[in-house]
Amino acid sequence: MWQAYCAFYETSVPQRVTDSTWQRILARDSAIHSILAVRMPGEEALGFANYVVHPFTWSERSACYLEDLFVHPQARGCGVGRALIDDLIARCDRHRWARLYWMTRESNAPARRLYERFAQPDDFVRYTVERDALADT
């Protein structure tokens, strides 16, 4: 599913970065976590949500950034994405995180329909300075 997620966003993540990402997700002391949606224990995964918990300068409490959300194409429209976000909201409440936030492409209409059931988009504009190219050489 990770490869399908990357393909959806038309990006290629080097295998060593993928390996490192999932090692960090599985590490107990990492700020990166993942939720896996399955129909029944031991069955094939239906979707995942990777999230990062980090300090938040506008609160004494941490914030949660939903970095990656992916639902297997055959499971879309069945409530998997909603269940993953609902689970994260419950974690926010349980851990007293100040906020849960995420972003998606403006053109991703199916995801936006789901996301707008939880919140309306704000007026912030994202700027990105890519530095990975320097680190990979």
Q: DSSP letter at 133?
A: H
Can you tell me the mean pLDDT for 17-30?
A: 94
pLDDT tens readout for residues 78-112: 999 999 999 999 999 999 999 999 999 999 999 99
Domain ranges, ordered by start, for the chain: 2-135
CB 2 within 8 A of CB 23: no
Fold adopted by 2-135: Aminopeptidase (3.40.630)
120: helix, strand or coil: coil
First to last CA, the chain: 28
Return the pLDDT at 137.
Answer: 47
pLDDT beyond 60 at 114:
yes
68: helix, strand or coil: strand
pTM of whole model > 0.75?
yes
Q: Give every CB contact of residue 17 below 8 A, 6+ residues apart in sequence.
A: none
Tokens of 105: 């492409």
